[in-house]
A and B are shown apart, each in its own frame.
Chain A
Amino acid sequence: MSTEPAEPAAIEGAPVHGEGAEPPPSTVVRFDLPERLVHWTTALLLLSLLATGTILYVPGLMLAVGHRATIENIHVVTGFGLLAPILAGLAGPWRSALVDDIRRLDRWGRQDFAFFRPRRAGPVGRRGKFNGGQKAAAAVLAGGSLVMIVTGTVMRWSPPFPNELARGATLVHDVVYLVLFAVVVGHLVVALSRPVQLRSMFTGHVPLAWARRHGPAWLDGSDLRTLPTGRARRPRQAAAPPRRSAPRREAAHAGRRPASG
Chain B
Amino acid sequence: MSEIDAARPPQADHDELEPVTHVGRRTLLGFMGVGVAGIALGASVDNAIGGALTKASSALGSLGALVPGAEAFRIYTVTGTIPRINPARYRLSVGGMVDHPLTLSLDDLRTAYPRTELVHYFQCVTGWHVPGVHWAGVRLSALLDRAGVQPGATALRFFSGDGVYTESLTLSQARLRDVLVADKMLGTDVTADHGGPVRLYVAPMYGYKSIKWLDRIEVTDRVVPGYWENAGYPVNAWIDS
A residues within 8 Å of B by Cβ?
3, 57-60, 62-63, 65-69, 102, 105-110, 112-114, 122-126, 135-136, 138-140, 142-144, 146-147, 150-151, 154-156, 158-159, 162-178, 217, 220, 222-223, 225-234, 237, 241, 244, 247, 251
Query: Smallest CB–CB gap between B13 and chain A, Å?
Result: 4
| A-facing residues in B52-90 (Cβ within 8 Å) | 62, 65-66, 68-69, 72-82
**Given known contacts A63-B77, A66-B78, is B128 in contact with A170 (CB within 8 Å)?**
yes
- B40 interface residue, CB < 8 Å from A? yes
B residues within 8 Å of A by Cβ?
1, 4-5, 7-8, 10-25, 27-32, 34-36, 38-43, 45-46, 62, 65-66, 68-69, 72-82, 123, 125-129, 193, 206, 227-228, 231, 233-234, 237, 239-241
The 10 A-B pairs at the shortest CB distance, nearest first, are namely: A168-B42, A170-B127, A143-B31, A174-B68, A106-B24, A241-B13, A147-B35, A139-B27, A172-B38, A122-B10
In the complex, 28 of the A-B residue pairs with CB atoms within 8 angstroms, ordered by the A residue number, are A57-B65, A58-B65, A63-B193, A67-B77, A67-B80, A68-B76, A108-B20, A108-B22, A110-B1, A114-B1, A135-B23, A147-B31, A147-B35, A150-B32, A163-B123, A163-B240, A166-B127, A167-B127, A168-B38, A169-B127, A171-B43, A176-B31, A178-B66, A227-B17, A228-B20, A229-B19, A233-B19, A241-B14
User: Do A108 and B21 touch across chains, with their CB atoms under 8 A apart?
Assistant: yes
User: Do B27 and A140 touch across chains, with their CB atoms under 8 A apart?
Assistant: yes
**Across the two chains, which residue of chain A brings its CB closest to B73?**
A59
User: Do B77 and A159 touch across chains, with their CB atoms under 8 A apart?
Assistant: no
- Majority SS at the chain B contact face: loop
Query: Smallest CB–CB gap between A253 and chain B, Å?
Result: 12
Task: Please measure, in the bound complex, the distance between the C-alpha atom of A102 and the C-alpha atom of B25, giving whole angstroms.
Answer: 10
Task: Please measure, in the bound complex, the distance between the C-alpha atom of A234 and the C-alpha atom of B8, giving whole angstroms.
Answer: 11
Query: Smallest CB–CB gap between B161 and chain A, Å?
Result: 14
User: Do B241 and A227 touch across chains, with their CB atoms under 8 A apart?
Assistant: no
User: Do A150 and B78 touch across chains, with their CB atoms under 8 A apart?
Assistant: no
Across the interface, which residues of B come within 8 angstroms of A106, CB to CB?
22-25
**Across the two chains, which residue of chain A brings its CB closest to B232?**
A157
**Given known contacts A66-B81, A69-B231, A112-B23, is B74 in contact with A123 (CB within 8 Å)?**
no
Across the interface, which residues of B come within 8 angstroms of A151, CB to CB?
35, 38-39
User: Do B74 and A125 touch across chains, with their CB atoms under 8 A apart?
Assistant: no
**Across the two chains, which residue of chain A brings its CB closest to B228?**
A69
Task: Please measure, in the bound complex, the distance between the C-alpha atom of A155 and the C-alpha atom of B126, giving whole angstroms.
Answer: 5
User: Do B17 and A230 touch across chains, with their CB atoms under 8 A apart?
Assistant: no
Across the interface, which residues of A come within 8 angstroms of B20, CB to CB?
107-109, 226-230
Q: Which of B32, B36, B68, B233 has the most CB of A within 10 A?
A: B68
**Across the two chains, which residue of chain B brings its CB closest to A152?**
B126
User: Do A166 and B125 touch across chains, with their CB atoms under 8 A apart?
Assistant: yes
Task: Please measure, in the bound complex, the distance between the C-alpha atom of A67 and the C-alpha atom of B40, giving whole angstroms.
Answer: 31
